[in-house]
Structure 1
């Protein structure tokens, strides 16, 4: 499982996914079906996300299927943006 911040046209969202990477073709297609055609993704440590989101993280993890799944953990862009420092984010992955 991977955790990451996805910066979209409407702001950042925090996601958990079982896809292998944020540039996986199926992951990109799933975002497109949700209306997200262009994005910048930054990976995060699962342990860090779990520490910051506690029970909410665990509830989403329990809901994620074993394969090909994507769940939004936090869609409050202000909260997502200020909850993590740039130093905690992995290298950017872009898609347009």
Structure 2
């Protein structure tokens, strides 16, 4: 499982996914189905995400167990930015023109 902070046209979202990466064509297709055709994504530390989100993280992780899918863990930009330092973010991954 991986956690990604994704900057979209309507604001940041924090997702959990069992896909290998944010550019996996199946994940990209799911994001595009939700209207997210362009984005900049950063992988965030999974264990830090688990510590920050606690029970909601565990519930979503259990829901993802045994399948390849994606779930939104947080869509509140203020909350996401309060939880993660910019120095924790890895290299950006850009998708779309």
TM-score normalized by structure 1? 0.94
Aligned residues: CA RMSD = 1.0
* In 1: Cα distance, 2:38 partner to 2:61 partner: 26
Q: Name the count of aligned residue pairs.
A: 96
1:74 aligns with 2:85: no
Could you tell me which residue of structure 2 aligns to residue 4 of structure 1?
4
* Runs (4+) off by over 6 Å: none
Structure 1: unaligned runs, 5 residues or longer? none
Unmatched runs of 5 consecutive residues or more in structure 2:
none
Match of 1:47 in 2: 47
SS of 2:43's partner is strand
Q: CA deviation at 1:66?
A: 2.5
Distance 2:17 2:70 in 1: 4
Mapped to 2, the partners of 1:71 and 1:2 lie a distance apart of 11
**Pairwise mapping of residues 13-32 of structure 1 onto structure 2 (< 5 A)?**
13-32=13-32
Q: Give the TM-score of the pair, scaled to structure 2.
A: 0.93
> How many Å separate the matches in 2 of 1:50 and 1:75?
16
